[in-house]
Amino acid sequence: MIAEKIAAAPAPEGVAEAVLDAVEGKHRMRLPVGAQARLLGRLRRWLPSARVDRSLRKEFRLDR
């Protein structure tokens, strides 16, 4: 399962570019990298936190 998540993660180049933008650009608390990270930010904004947390626990097969 972890290997699947790593395979679906953004490329290291994209992460390095985001880090460089963060260092050189305007300060922001979060810089999502990749489509899944941007989606998670939107879900956290619009859904109740308990629902998002439950979904993440299910996705990563975590116990409470």
How far apart are alpha carbons 18 and 37 in whole angstroms? Answer: 12
Domain that holds residue 6: 2-59
The count of domains in the chain is: 1
The answer to whether position 23 is within a domain reads: yes
The answer to whether position 46 is within a domain reads: yes
pLDDT at 49: 93
How far apart are alpha carbons 10 and 35 in whole angstroms? Answer: 8
The answer to whether position 37 is within a domain reads: yes
> What's 48's DSSP letter?
-
Q: Has this prediction a pTM greater than 0.85? A: no
**Over the stretch 27-43, which tens digit does the pLDDT of each residue have?**
777 778 888 889 999 99
The answer to whether position 10 is within a domain reads: yes
The answer to whether position 64 is within a domain reads: no
The answer to whether position 21 is within a domain reads: yes
